[in-house]
Amino acid sequence: MSLVRQLWLSVILILLASSLTNFFISTYFERKNLQEQLYLKNVDDVNSLALMLSQDDKQLTDIELLIAATFDAGHYQRIELIDPAGDSIFKRQYRGELTTDVPALAQKVFHFEVEPGIAQVSSGWNRIGTLYLESHTQYVHEALWHRTQAFFVSFIIISLVAGLIGSLVLHFILKPLDMVVEQAHRFSEKRFMTLPLPRTKEFAKVVLAMNSLAKRFKSIIEDGNKRLDELRYRGQHDELTGLANCEAFETLLDAQLKYRDREGHNVLFMLKIFGMSEISLRLEKQRVDEIIVEFTQVVFDFTKQIEGRFTDVRFGRLNGSEFCILLTEAEDIQQLSDVLVEAVRAFKGRSRDMYELYILHAGVYLSPDETRTVLMRRVQALLIEASKERAMALIDNKLTIVAPFNDDIQWRKALNNALSDNIHALTFPVVRKDGSAIHYQALMGLELDNDIRKGGYFVHWARRLNMIPQIDVRMIEHILAKIEREENAYDYAILLSYETMIDEPALTSILNLLNRDKSLAQHVCLEVRESVASAHFDLFKHFTLTLKDTGCKIGLKRVGDSFSTLLDLQELGLDYIKIDSAFVYNVSINVSNQNFLRGLCSLAHSLGIVVIADGVTSKEDGDTLFESGFDGMISLMQQF
């Protein structure tokens, strides 16, 4: 039984006991009072009648007529005159039945025992006899019964009014309890949120204890994040700029070439600063370092200028004067290069110290079949050629896979046709150490150009046409239908884009789809890239808390670089995270990444989050990852 019902029951029982006690006590004294009043009436009436009968010398006939008249005029049960010898001289008694609405049970309960009024009747000095008079008790019964009815009616009215007022007061008093219950429920979902202390002292103690637990978890997360940042930064980042160092960026390129969507428009820019040696001789080291840091900010600002024209970005500093930018699922490389040229030109115009610098860049599309070494040789060859021509940029815009659609109209038509009836889900398992599946990763496949194409083939055009939310919603519809058809339903993970997260109609459609049948929704796992969650945490938090109520699972994908920067992670209730393949690739021989991933697993497990390795390429790497605490992995051989 709930606490509210118990409180209601207690209030009702207390009110009922108090009212019944009051009723019986008041009824007892009311009955006694009426009984005394009725006795006094009998005494008064009998004395009055006896006085009338004793006046003058009345014949027996006169006495009988006077007694009869008095009996008929009043409400009497019996009037009887008895002579001194004990014999009845005259007796009038009511033998009929009075019409009454008093139940028989009430008459028994309210039974009155009233003594008759007694008076002596005489004629002169001669005693005629003793006069007895008893009034009807029926009317007293009715009076007491009506009072009882009035009492119960007033009791019911007062109870209803008190119940209404009590329910409002109880709702106000127990409002903090709903918050405490909600907090406990969130704790069970691994969402360690804090609440303001309620005014009620007892509830405040509970909330204070729960808040202390939440703050303790937050402190653990913050300390763990700090240690993870130190591990990751020390082993993988350039100390001056904070960009990925040469080794880390090369690992990232290896993972990108071997694991990522090979049909994607992935772009690599390499920037080189000529003249650093000359200004190093002329300027102090501190000023040279400031120039490098300022240039790094220019690189960051460039990606902000082209935001929305790529999916993900990675930066690297290969040496003192060479920088790299990797853009995944990017738009036309030439247009992006033009923006970068303008950014560099503005940077050089800031100070005279930079006049001697010659900054140029080269850009290429990644080819799915080439190695990192071949890729780097290709882009470096372009750099050398650009430096010979004194050009600010040189671009190789040749694509390995060229789509037959050339403009917005053709692409929109092709995508709409594919979304209507040519959608496919390319799935592969996420497995535990024992080989059982945690869930299946589902990639969107659209039938375009007489072939099933993965996202990299069309996503840059879909983004340009604002069709990403429509594609994501259609993918969820397709997966829900697939789950419904399966005899033994599996869990399926779907990666959602930033464009879908900020699109309210799309989110509403997703909520409606998942709420339509929660037995199906519990098999859906929705993922967001870590970079999106980190850059737009409030949006991601709203997205997570909204969709968690449908019963689906929420996870992060490509985790590693920014996981430690996610604030209030303990309040999200994430179900799983997938570590970026850049941290997983060759982890068996990378001690730095091993230490980082071990710490990340420990932190995630403290929050009940399942940790999955994305893009494992060898048995050695898989064994190392499971030994480090990973719960599952996506093998490269399972996908391609």
Query: What ranges do the domains of the chain cover?
Result: 3-160, 246-396, 408-639
Confidence band (pLDDT; 50, 70, 90) for 448?
confident
Residue that wins the pLDDT comparison between 265 and 113: 265
| pLDDT, position 300 | 92
pTM value > 0.75: no
| pLDDT, position 100 | 65
Q: Are strands 492-496 and 117-123 parallel, antiparallel or unpaired?
A: unpaired
pLDDT at 637 over 60: no
Q: What is the mean pLDDT of residues 345-371?
A: 81
3-160 topology per CATH? Beta-Lactamase (3.30.450)
| pLDDT, position 302 | 93
Is the fold of 3-160 the same as that of 408-639? no
- Name the percent of the chain lying above pLDDT 90: 23
Amino acid symbol at 338? D
Confidence band (pLDDT; 50, 70, 90) for 511?
very high
| pLDDT, position 639 | 44
| pLDDT, position 261 | 58
Q: What is the mean pLDDT of residues 254-275?
A: 81
Domain 408-639 matching CATH 2.40.30.10: the answer reads no
Residue that wins the pLDDT comparison between 409 and 263: 409
Secondary structure string (H, E, C) spanning 269-293: EEEEEECHHHHHHHCCHHHHHHHHH
Q: Are 438 and 610 in contact (CB under 8 A)?
A: yes
Q: What is the mean pLDDT of residues 622-632?
A: 93
246-396 topology per CATH? Alpha-Beta Plaits (3.30.70)
pLDDT at 173 over 90: no
Q: Are strands 524-529 and 451-454 parallel, antiparallel or unpaired?
A: unpaired
| pLDDT, position 96 | 65
pLDDT at 500 over 60: yes
| pLDDT, position 640 | 37
Q: What is the distance between the alpha carbons of residues 525 and 553, in angstroms, rounded to a whole number? A: 5
- Within 8 A by CB and 6+ apart from 124, the residues are 57
Q: Are 524 and 495 in contact (CB under 8 A)?
A: no
Provide the strand spans (E) within 246-377: 267-274, 312-317, 322-328, 358-365
DSSP summary character for residue 237: B
Q: What is the distance between the alpha carbons of residues 276 and 286, in angstroms, rounded to a whole number? A: 13
Q: Are 386 and 442 in contact (CB under 8 A)?
A: no
Give the closest residue to 314 by CA, choosing from 617, 583, 640.
583
Q: Are 333 and 361 in contact (CB under 8 A)?
A: no
Average pLDDT, the chain: 83
Confidence band (pLDDT; 50, 70, 90) for 260?
low
Give the closest residue to 561 by CA, choosing from 293, 236, 318.
236
Confidence band (pLDDT; 50, 70, 90) for 581?
confident
Q: Are 508 and 469 in contact (CB under 8 A)?
A: no
Residue that wins the pLDDT comparison between 4 and 171: 171
Q: Are 354 and 363 in contact (CB under 8 A)?
A: no
Please write the tens of the pLDDT for every residue from 180-216.
777 777 776 666 677 777 777 777 788 888 888 777 7
DSSP summary character for residue 629: T
Q: What is the distance between the alpha carbons of residues 613 and 620, in angstroms, rounded to a whole number? A: 13
The enclosing H or E element of 437 equals: strand 437-448
pLDDT at 451 over 90: no
Q: What is the distance between the alpha carbons of residues 407 and 401, in angstroms, rounded to a whole number? A: 16
Confidence band (pLDDT; 50, 70, 90) for 613?
very high
